[in-house]
Chains A and B, each alone.
Chain A
Amino acid sequence: MGVGMTAAAAGTPEARASHEARPAHPLQRRRRPGEALIQGFLAFCGVISIFTTLGIVFVLGRESLLFFSKPEVTLAEFLLTTHWQPAVGEFGIWPLVSATVLTSLMAMLVALPLGLAVAIYLSEYASARARNLLKPIMEVLAGIPTVVYGYFALTFMTPTLRTIFGANVVEIYNTASAGLVMGILILPLVSSMSEDALSAVPRSLREAAYGLGATRLEVALKIVLPAALSGLAAAVIVAISRAIGETMIVAIAAGAGPNFTLNPFKAAETMTGHIVRISGGDLSYDSLDYDSLFAIGMLLFLMTLGLNLISQRVVRRFREVYE
């Protein structure tokens, strides 16, 4: 917008006036080195984000290549075996992936139904007063640092689970506790994105349904929800991506040590938890351990990037329907 404006207000007449052959006149284009310098700086700021992405890809890519070029490890072993024990040269990613999937799944079990229900309540049922009270609570939940959630998982959720299911069933570190708390962490994200999608459904559709004798529930579930479907799908995808990348809760509560298990009451280490634990210790550059972290990081980056790209595509399609 601003650009078009300038072209009309200043650019075009000046452009016409800047023919070299013409003699100097009051409207002649003036050099403004300061402006050009500033514009250059601003463009540089804009490009830094590109450098960041390139930096991520370069760093993760280079170290991953170093990792896979070592004689101790092959890509096939990395992707196909189920033991991750760097000390004895075993680098099968599956224990870490399975723990990530397990915690994310637990988180989704909590965050998706609750988040969606909260969104429907806030957008279709709540009075303005209830909304003004509840939305800040959700914002507070969203603003609490993840390390605090980790503490909560370890000192509240784990003892609670151990009380319910028995201390001999539930280990002190377990993926269920981490996953459930992660679900609470992600709940506000799901509810706010879903609520945005629901409130974007035009009022006229709700009125049409009410006009046909529909109850509030029928309007919400049979008209608004289907109409907002792709927006909701985008929320789900972003939530999954967030769960996969979440680190501190699993680092604190899920356990230290890769463990290929699907039992949510057993300790297991996720991809992110492993990166944090290993890099928190004494790590020498260019060691196999160091490089292996970047290989895990690369996989993590690709997974979340893929999910985010899909969600953006879904959102764009949603916009096309209503705008």
Chain B
Amino acid sequence: MSAETNGPLGGAEQTFDAGLPQRKRVAVAWHTLFLASTIIGVIALTALLYTVINQSFGLVAVQNRIEPASLAVDGVPLAQLTQEQYVAILQANLSPGVFRRYDSEQPFTERSRENLYALVLERVVQPRYVKTWPLIAAFFDRAAIETEVARDFPGAKLVFRSWVTPDFLRSPQASAPELAGVRTAILGSLWTILITILTALPIGVGAAIYLEEYARASWATRLIRTNITNLAGVPSIIYGMLGLAIFVRGAEALTSGAAFGLADPTTANGRTILSAGLTLALLILPLLIINAQEAIRAVPRSLRQASYGLGATQWQTIWRHVLPSALPGILTGTILAISRAIGETAPLVVIGASTFIVVDPNGPFAKFTTLPIQIYQWTSRPQPQFRNLAAAAILVLLALLLTMNTSAVLLRNRYSRRA
């Protein structure tokens, strides 16, 4: 080796053209690119939330079939009339058949004032939303909208409306967008999830315990593990087809409740809450098992050794020491899996969620709809009012998921602080 070429500095400066300014420019360009991509992700989320919120509030042009003002009696506005006067209005404006039907459902004499007022509004005043405008338009185009309403819908009144209201949560589904609500859908979701938790949680945790604590390293164990990983990647719609063939069709006698004499007489087929819950349970099982396995694996070995050292059996060790330590982790994983199940739509469509029900589901053998199904239905309707309803239902769904995920994060934080 020659001293000349090895000369640490003199030679080095001549043979290298580090071109740092150029490299720095390239670096800045790429850095900007990476940052921009990240910002695009953030923008996507913002656009999504913007779309939903924009459609959940806004202006509606309300047209009444009969103006409430014309129903005022002797100068007393409609809202302040007596029970008898409401009944009189109903009698005057409804066909005798319809009037009798309401009376036989619940006699008018026994109905409360509020109930009668609501009935007058629904059946006599009959407000219709002839057109809707989203939130942003309501703010920035108010004047133009007002002229448009005055021109196109004389007699209509322009009202600012939130589509998410207590009534929206309380009312069952209805064919008129003015009256529709998500009550049946929320109850359906809750019932379905209850079934899912009751089946998936014990099986999932059981499988995780088996794999982590009992299973020996054999080909069978490896098969189960690989299989679980693969199941986690199967599209959810395939689970729907499995549920359709196995639960809805194959086990119809059980899932319809016929075997127990509990079948819902109006349907009496397997497209029930039970089938939906079981299908979703199969769907989230791989996720649940993988999460629970991680939680169990995180329990220190020393804890097990201490327990065995005191002469505990394997199950005593698991039940009294391993599971309590792993519990927060398992719960966190379960909540995350459940929130995945709450948002699932495709498999439930496949196993046959009802498109239109107005009765509250009353048990595992009831037919059902769920919140995501409801959103799907409303989104698919051509009338723009249903877009607003879908947006409102999305807000409800997101609120539900946010609550669950927040509790999962809180749980995880508490857990990691202790650990």
Contacts and interface: CB of A to CB of B under 8 A. Distances in A.
> When A and B assemble into the complex, do they touch directly, with CB atoms less than 8 Å apart?
yes
B76 interface: no
Interface in A44-65: 44-50, 52-53, 55-56, 59-60, 63
Interface stretch (B82-90, B101-109, B210-218): B210-218
B284 to A, nearest CB: 12
Given A5-B308, A217-B26, A301-B234, A149 B48 contact: yes
Given A118-B41, A275-B241, A276-B349, A155 B51 contact: yes
A2 B304 contact: yes
A46 B215 contact: yes
Interface stretch (A162-170, A201-209, A241-249, A259-267): A241-249
A42 interface: yes
A68 B298 CA distance: 49
Tell me which of B41, B216, B242 has the highest count of chain A C-beta atoms within 10 A of its own C-beta.
B41
Interface residues of A, number: 93
B308 A304 contact: no
A211 interface: no
Interface in B18-46: 18, 23-24, 26-27, 30-31, 33-38, 40-42, 44-45
B31 A217 contact: yes
Interface stretch (A71-79, A90-98, A101-109, A120-128): A120-128
B345 A215 contact: no
Nearest to B24: A215
A246 B345 contact: no
Interface in B159-218: 202-207, 209-216
Contact of A304 (B51, B234, B376, B387): B234
Interface in A125-164: 125-126, 134, 137-138, 140-141, 143-152, 154-156
A216 B401 CA distance: 39
B285 A121 contact: no
Tell me which of B212, B229, B339 has the highest count of chain A C-beta atoms within 10 A of its own C-beta.
B229
Contacts of A294: 241, 245
A49 B376 contact: no
Interface residues of B, number: 94
Interface string A110-123: 00011001101110
A3 interface: yes
A116 to B, nearest CB: 8
Interface string B247-278: 00100000000000000000000000000000
A141 B55 CA distance: 19
Contacts of A46: 206-207, 210-211, 215, 224
Nearest to A154: B379
Contacts of B202: 45
B233 A308 contact: yes
B233 A285 contact: no
B30 to A, nearest CB: 5
B35 A121 contact: yes
A148 B52 contact: yes
A320 interface: no
B379 A151 contact: yes
B40 A114 contact: yes
A151 B238 contact: no
Contacts of A241: 233
B328 interface: no
A279 B350 contact: yes
A281 B162 CA distance: 32
B203 A56 contact: no
B363 interface: no
A9 B202 CA distance: 28
B235 interface: yes
B314 interface: yes
A238 B230 CA distance: 11
Interface stretch (B116-124, B139-147, B391-399): B391-399
B207 A49 contact: yes
Contacts of B285: 48-49, 52
Nearest to B224: A46
Given A32-B313, A118-B37, A248-B345, A151 B235 contact: no
Nearest to B209: A42
Contact of B246 (A45, A59, A309): A59
A51 B380 CA distance: 36
Given A49-B207, A53-B227, A145-B401, A43 B214 contact: yes
Contact of A56 (B23, B37, B229, B242): B242
Given A46-B224, A145-B401, 18 more contacts: A42-B210, A43-B214, A43-B215, A47-B224, A52-B231, A52-B242, A114-B41, A117-B34, A141-B41, A143-B343, A148-B48, A151-B52, A156-B48, A245-B238, A248-B346, A276-B349, A297-B237, A301-B238
Interface of A: 1-3, 5-6, 9-10, 32, 34-35, 38-39, 41-50, 52-53, 55-56, 59-60, 63, 113-114, 117-118, 120-122, 125-126, 134, 137-138, 140-141, 143-152, 154-156, 184, 187-188, 191, 213, 215-218, 221, 238, 241-242, 244-248, 251-252, 272, 275-276, 279-280, 285, 293-294, 297, 300-301, 304-305, 307-309, 312
9 contacts: A2-B213, A5-B308, A34-B315, A35-B314, A49-B228, A143-B339, A145-B345, A150-B376, A155-B387
